[in-house]
Amino acid sequence: MDDIRVLVVEDQALMSQALKVFIDAAPGMACVGIAEDGRSAVSMTARLRPDVVLMDMQLPLMDGAEATARILASDHCPAILAVTTFATDEYLVPAFRAGVQGFLVKDSRPAEIAAAVQQAHAGATVVSPQVTAALVKALVAEPLRTCHAAAPLREPLTGRESEVLALIGQGLSNRDVANALFVTEATVKAHAGRLMAKFGVENRVQLVVCALKLGVLTL
């Protein structure tokens, strides 16, 4: 199988080099280039055709959200992960609207970065637990076109599903939810999958936003 081709977009040299080292050290992936601003990100994506782009949001010349939108409007649409410094980054919602496939915080461990790249390449939505709560709060006031459930839900939540939903809403990872409920991660993933099906959404962020809008969850 070919390596996953990753483009790093980051204007801080130390951070971009660290990401490059992490990517090149991970099995099955390779950093194919580093762009230092949004315009370069667009042109290098067209030229290098990466599978995944790690996109800083605060960039010179063109911010990450605009660069993301331009890339996704082109004839080559890689998976784009927004890389943020803080979970309260003002660029979270613009990045979400632009179409990023997920969010990573810059202090993520190398293994977490590699796992996120693999998941994004496989088509999954990736959101660092630290980002979930902040993004949800910012999106609650936004129209959520992807929420297909009607209140009340046609199929009510079980007690365990309600517990899992509440913990996901707090931004906990599957592992943390599993530890809190004394169950396995596989069990948590199964509950999360059923919750997303009941609410008619595709990822954890949409799940929590939809649950808040329907009054099923409070934070």
The pair phi, psi for residue 29, each rounded to 5°, is -150, 160
Q: What is the CATH number of the domain that holds 30?
A: 3.40.50.2300
With respect to residue 134, please indicate whether it lies within any of the assigned structural domains: no
* Residue finishing a domain among 127, 155, 187: 127
Is residue 172 located within the same domain as residue 86?
no
In this predicted structure, what is the pLDDT of residue 219? 65
* Residue 196: burial class (beta carbons within 10 Å; 0-12, 13-18, 19+): middle
Residue 217 tokens, joined? 């969850």
Distance CA 33, CA 51 (A): 12
Is residue 70 located within the same domain as residue 118?
yes
With respect to residue 132, please indicate whether it lies within any of the assigned structural domains: no
Domain that residue 114 falls in: 4-127
Rounded mean pLDDT for each run of 10 residues along the chain, 219 residues in total: 92 95 96 97 97 95 94 92 77 84 88 91 78 74 60 81 90 84 93 90 77 80
